Amino acid sequence: MNEQYLLHIILIYLAVTNVATFFTYGIDKWKAKKSKWRISEPALLTLAVIGGSIGAWLGMKVWHHKTLHKKFKYGIPAIIIVQLAFAVYLICRC
């Protein structure tokens, strides 16, 4: 498999994951307002860890959701930093 194809697959994965995460945060906010069954915090954080960290951060800002919870307020930016550091490491390694 050539590197360009692999990069293309990774970018598609990240785009889909971030869009899904963004809307998941919005759905959870809607459910919170309607007193409905909620998406668990571990599930929301897991979406960020598996590649949806930018979507999670944008979801927090746009939907004003989980912005006061310390594990989200500091955790999501920390996940973004770790993921960016890992990406830089992979790029520099080549």
pLDDT over 90 (residue 1): no
Exposed/middle/buried for residue 83 (C-beta within 10 Å: 0-12, 13-18, 19+):
middle
Token digits of residue 81: 């930093």
The Cα–Cα gap between 54 and 64 comes to 15
Token digits of residue 15: 């785009």
pTM for this entry: 0.93
Residues in contact with 75: Cβ distance below 8 Å, sequence separation at least 6, in sequence order: 45, 48
pLDDT average, residue stretch 16-42: 97
Token digits of residue 32: 């919170």
pLDDT over 70 (residue 94): no
**How confident is the model at residue 61, as a pLDDT?**
97
pLDDT over 90 (residue 36): yes
pLDDT average, residue stretch 48-72: 97
**How confident is the model at residue 73, as a pLDDT?**
97
**How confident is the model at residue 29, as a pLDDT?**
97
Q: Which residue has the higher pLDDT, 2 or 29?
A: 29
